[in-house]
């Protein structure tokens, strides 16, 4: 309406300026002019007379508009730690030019809406039923917010206030179920327990709650089906139950044949019966008799009988169960079975001799650097004997590049004597350090390995 008024006044001023002058008619407009003449008597154009002392700009300027103040009240509920609008806001708008009667109409006690599962806003810990909206409060609060516009068209002041509803805490029942050993599609009570395993988790209504699994020491042999279960806490949790599933964990069964033939390892689930070792896979060892298996930890069979760690597994008659066909139950960790052997009291063994080559490429391996020159065989020697390598005789060994006369001097006697040593040392030097390193006992590096059965 303001724009139209300006345009009308401008047109009237323009007409006032044009009418006193001569009117010019174009030939092309004669017909139109004749048509317009019908209404000429009805058009009464009167020029605007400006008040004394005022310019046209001042006359056309709109009067200043009063300021407008708006206060918006939002009702927000707690969700996942934040607060979201949950109800239609209450918006109060007043003008600076309002009369006292209009101001009085603004004053209202606004009741807080009820939201099931959420507590009303509080003052010093006490729930509030309503809040006051007054003309003065709207003006004061709106001035603290954002402003827009100008004096000619009016300045608008806007602000908002939040009323926060805290979500109520609710307890959720969590039932923990465990995978059945006989049917992996079924879940039930924890093995060995007759009752259910239940816990509670607490969260706020409308918020997402992450429910963790039971502690590791309470679920030995099982792994949670998921890292956590996330649910939205409902208003009514009386009949709300979360089911947390636990699957059976799997562990390795390994066999240490202690020098015998290898037995393949296995992977089994917790509480699964350990399958027996096939008769063809029972280990054998040259020079020793297999006595049975000893476990690395205590085991039980299906009937609950205990087999102690590091003791040979035997039946009720005291006989070793060499194929492990004892209905042993897989524990909740990796297990190793170690073969037990009875060595024969005597065995044969050999001593090999190697001499260093005169020339070999840089970086050559040990085998590339040495030539094999002979062997001494010892028969029916005690098992466990540690040979005295430093005093081993060299009779009968043909060293490369030495003629028979020199070899005869080196072969003089069954054991080294001073003359032998001094003569041999002209051509070859005994590498004591390398000899002891290559023949060290794995369990005692400072000793020579013992004769194996």
pLDDT at 20: 36
User: What average pLDDT is seen over the chain?
Assistant: 87
Please report which helix (H) or strand (E) contains residue 154, including its range.
Answer: strand 154-167
Q: What value does the mean pLDDT take over residues 289-307? A: 96
**How many Å apart are CA 84 and CA 166, to the nearest integer?**
11
Name which residue leads in pLDDT, 418 or 5: 418
Q: How far is CA 21 from CA 14, 24, 339, in A?
A: 12, 9, 131
Instruction: Indicate if the pLDDT at residue 19 is higher than 50.
Output: no
What 3-state class would DSSP assign to 208? strand
pLDDT at 35: 55
Q: Name the pLDDT band for 416 (thresholds 50, 70, 90).
A: low
pLDDT at 2: 41
Domain locations along the chain: 2-60, 68-167, 174-248, 250-343, 346-448
Per-residue pLDDT of 174-210, as tens digits, reads 999 999 999 999 999 999 999 999 999 999 999 999 9
Among 353, 350, 344, 355, smallest CA distance to 379 is for 350
CATH code of 250-343, in short, is 2.60.40.4270
> Who's near 152: CB < 8 A, 6+ residues apart?
61, 62, 64, 65
For the chain, give the number of residues: 453
Among 214, 95, 87, smallest CA distance to 149 is for 95
**How many Å apart are CA 216 and CA 223, to the nearest integer?**
8
**How many Å apart are CA 222 and CA 393, to the nearest integer?**
63
For strand 169-179 and strand 154-167, is the pairing parallel, antiparallel, or unpaired? unpaired
Per-residue pLDDT of 29-72, as tens digits, reads 344 445 555 655 666 777 777 777 777 777 777 777 889 999 99
Backbone angles phi, psi at 204, to 5 degrees: -100, 145
- The answer to whether the CB of 112 falls within 8 A of the CB of 241 is no
**How many Å apart are CA 45 and CA 40, to the nearest integer?**
10
Among positive and negative, which fits the CA dihedral 99, 105, 109, 114?
negative
Backbone angles phi, psi at 367, to 5 degrees: -65, -30
> Who's near 77: CB < 8 A, 6+ residues apart?
83, 84, 86, 115, 118, 164, 165, 167, 206
* Rounded (5°) CA angle 98-102-107: 115
Per-residue pLDDT of 203-232, as tens digits, reads 999 999 999 999 999 999 999 999 999 999
Q: Tell me the DSSP string of 27-72.
A: GGGHHHHHHHGGGTTT----PPPPPTT--HHHHHSPPPPPPEEEEE
Among positive and negative, which fits the CA dihedral 281, 285, 288, 292?
negative
For strand 222-224 and strand 241-248, is the pairing parallel, antiparallel, or unpaired? antiparallel
Reading phi first (left if > 0) and then psi (alpha if -120 to 50, else beta), residue 287 is in left
- The answer to whether the CB of 354 falls within 8 A of the CB of 370 is yes
> Who's near 35: CB < 8 A, 6+ residues apart?
none
Q: How many CB atoms lie within 10 A of CB 328?
A: 24
Instruction: Indicate if the pLDDT at residue 315 is higher than 50.
Output: yes
Per-residue pLDDT of 72-102, as tens digits, reads 999 999 998 899 999 999 999 999 999 999 9
Can you tell me which residue has the tokens 């109409």?
105
- The answer to whether the CB of 306 falls within 8 A of the CB of 318 is no
**Burial (CB count <10 Å: 0-12, 13-18, 19+), residue 394:** buried
Instruction: Indicate if the pLDDT at residue 384 is higher than 50.
Output: yes
Among 427, 366, 415, 363, smallest CA distance to 389 is for 415
**Burial (CB count <10 Å: 0-12, 13-18, 19+), residue 134:** middle
Q: What value does the mean pLDDT take over residues 333-356? A: 94
Among positive and negative, which fits the CA dihedral 78, 84, 89, 91?
positive
pLDDT at 234: 94
Q: Give the rounded percent of residues in the chain with a pLDDT score beyond 70.
A: 88
What 3-state class would DSSP assign to 365? coil
- The answer to whether the CB of 245 falls within 8 A of the CB of 180 is no
Per-residue pLDDT of 362-377, as tens digits, reads 999 999 999 999 999 9
């Amino acid at each position: 309406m303001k724009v139209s008024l300006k345009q009308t006044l401008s047109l009237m001023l323009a007409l006032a300026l044009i009418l006193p002058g001569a009117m010019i008619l174009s030939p092309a407009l004669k017909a139109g002019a004749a048509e317009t003449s019908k209404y000429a008597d009805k058009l009464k154009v009167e020029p605007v007379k400006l008040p004394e002392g005022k310019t046209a700009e001042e006359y056309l300027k709109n009067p200043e508009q009063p300021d407008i103040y708006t206060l918006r009240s939002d009702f927000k509920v707690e969700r996942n730690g934040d607060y979201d609008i949950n109800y239609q806001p209450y918006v109060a708008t007043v003008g600076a030019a309002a009369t006292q009667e209009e101001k009085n109409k603004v004053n209202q006690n606004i009741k807080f809406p009820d939201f099931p599962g959420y507590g009303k806003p509080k003052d010093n810990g006490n729930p509030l039923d309503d809040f006051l909206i007054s003309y003065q409060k709207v003006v004061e609060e709106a001035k603290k917010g954002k402003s827009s516009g100008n004096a000619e068209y009016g300045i608008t002041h806007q602000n908002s206030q939040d009323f926060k509803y805290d979500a109520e805490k609710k307890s959720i029942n969590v039932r923990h179920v465990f995978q059945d050993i006989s049917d992996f599609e079924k879940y039930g009570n924890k093995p060995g327990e007759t009752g259910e395993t239940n816990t509670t988790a607490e969260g706020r209504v409308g918020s997402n709650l992450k429910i963790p699994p039971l502690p590791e020491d309470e679920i030995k042999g099982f792994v949670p089906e998921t890292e956590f279960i996330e649910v939205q806490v409902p208003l009514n949790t009386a009949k709300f139950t979360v089911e947390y599933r636990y699957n059976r964990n799997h562990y390795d069964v390994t066999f240490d044949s202690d020098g015998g033939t290898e037995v393949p390892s296995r992977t089994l689930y917790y509480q699964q019966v350990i399958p027996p070792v096939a008769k063809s896979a029972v280990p054998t060892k040259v020079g020793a008799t297999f006595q049975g298996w000893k476990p690395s930890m205590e085991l039980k069979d299906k009937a609950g009988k205990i087999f102690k760690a590091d003791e040979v597994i035997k039946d009720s008659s005291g006989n070793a169960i060499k194929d492990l066909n004892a209905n042993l139950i897989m524990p909740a960790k990796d297990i190793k079975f170690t073969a037990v052997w009875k060595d024969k009291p005597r065995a044969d063994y050999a001593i090999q001799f190697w001499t260093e080559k005169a020339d070999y490429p840089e970086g050559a391996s040990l085998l590339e650097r040495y030539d094999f020159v002979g062997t001494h065989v010892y028969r029916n020697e005690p098992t466990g004997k540690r040979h005295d390598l430093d005093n081993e005789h060299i009779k009968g060994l043909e060293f490369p590049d030495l003629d028979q006369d020199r070899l005869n001097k080196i072969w003089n006697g069954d054991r080294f004597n001073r003359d032998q040593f001094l003569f041999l040392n002209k051509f070859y030097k005994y590498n004591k350090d390398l000899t002891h390193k290559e023949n060290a006992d794995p369990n005692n590096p400072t000793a020579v390995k013992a004769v194996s059965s």
